Structure 1
Amino acid sequence: MKSSVLAAALLSAATLGLAACGDRAAEQPAEAPEGVPGLTITNARMVLAPVEGNPAAVYFDLAYDGDRNVALNRAHVEGAASASLHEYGEWNRQVQMQEMLPLVLTKGDRVSFEPGGKHVMATDVSPELQPGGTTEVTLTVSGGDKTTFEAEIRGPGEER
């Protein structure tokens, strides 16, 4: 008898708890802003390599006017097996390409990802990505916020 009363009490308490959860589910969650607040990308283009199978490069102009500092630390290119942030640096008195450290962005920063400088390297690019088309590029900053933009695809001999 005691166990029947205890079971009924527990069942009542669980029902009230679930009812309270149901009220919360009816509330609309606050929408997160799309993209990284204050981050603007312009002049985006992906240049395919002259030799099939070699990596492609993505270039663009970045402007940051956000209120908090962020660090750009990852990239993804739709249609590529992998993508990474690269730049040129000197090692052993030779200039060479290297993976870029996270890029800290503060309000007012303007950064060009351009030939001979910072760029996104896209490897194992799908043959479906052809000049004249577009692909999506996603940049991720510290904290996980992401901005996605379209990049025009250009052939190897076209203006970079």
Structure 2
Amino acid sequence: MRRSWVLVAALALGACSDGPPKLSVDKAYIRLAAVPSRPAVAYFTIHGGTADTALIAVSSEVSVKNELHESMQSGGLSAMKPVGDVPIRSGSTVVFAPGGKHLMLFDMNPGIKPGRAVTLTFTFANNQRIAFDAPTIAAGAPAPAP
């Protein structure tokens, strides 16, 4: 009887463990530009794996050029600048969100309409690539529910 209780406890504890952290991407979406000639913007969350790495690029087949950017406030003014590689520490979470880090998608295919999924390919310094199908939303639409 005692042995079966120990086995049940061990199984329950094992079920609580998710194992080592895995490099992953979630909550990605693309906000289309209000004016077709302007860039679209993508937001997402990256979860670090078991080792440090860096996000070095994000690509898409529906935009000509993509750049990682960061918004900031300085002297009451908003500014935005391109950023290089983004460090992803082991087990960390890095959020790309409005008012902070984001991806600019330049010269996006004008045929992309709200509701269509666009594949974003995330490339990391450890040679790992992750593809994520990000839904598109209109310029003024609320962000999709997580």
Which residue number in structure 2 is paired with residue 50 of structure 1?
34
Which residue number in structure 2 is paired with residue 147 of structure 1?
130
Deviation of 1:42 after TM superposition, in Å, equals 1.6
Partner of residue 119 from structure 1, selected from 97, 102, 105: 102
Q: Please give the alpha-carbon distance, in whole angstroms, between the structure 2 residues aligned to 1:127 and 1:119.
A: 20
Which residue number in structure 2 is paired with residue 28 of structure 1?
none
Deviation of 1:92 after TM superposition, in Å, equals 8.1
Which residue number in structure 1 is paired with residue 24 of structure 2?
40
Deviation of 1:93 after TM superposition, in Å, equals 7.8
Give structure 2 stretches of 5+ with no counterpart: 1-20
The CA RMSD measured in Å over matched residues stands at 1.9
Deviation of 1:94 after TM superposition, in Å, equals 4.6
% of aligned pairs identical?
29
Which residue number in structure 1 is paired with residue 47 of structure 2?
63
Partner of residue 66 from structure 2, selected from 63, 83, 86: 83
Task: Name the SS for the 1:62 alignment partner.
Answer: strand
Q: Identify the structure with the greater helix proportion.
A: 1
Q: Which amino acid aligns with 2:36?
A: E
Q: Please give the alpha-carbon distance, in whole angstroms, between the structure 2 residues aligned to 1:116 and 1:93.
A: 14
2:118 corresponds to 1:135: yes
Partner deviation per Cα, 1:29-54 (whole Å, 9 max, x = no partner): xxxxxxxx822222111000111110
Q: Please give the alpha-carbon distance, in whole angstroms, between the structure 1 residues aligned to 2:141 and 2:78.
A: 25
Partner deviation per Cα, 1:32-81 (whole Å, 9 max, x = no partner): xxxxx8222221110001111100000112211x2221011111022001
2:91 corresponds to 1:108: yes
Q: Please give the alpha-carbon distance, in whole angstroms, between the structure 1 residues aligned to 2:99 and 2:61.
A: 23
- TM-score (normalised: structure 1): 0.70
Q: Which amino acid aligns with 1:46?
A: I
Q: Which amino acid aligns with 1:139?
A: F
Which residue number in structure 1 is paired with residue 18 of structure 2?
none
Give the ranges of 4+ consecutive aligned residues of structure 1 lying more than 6 Å apart after TM superposition: none
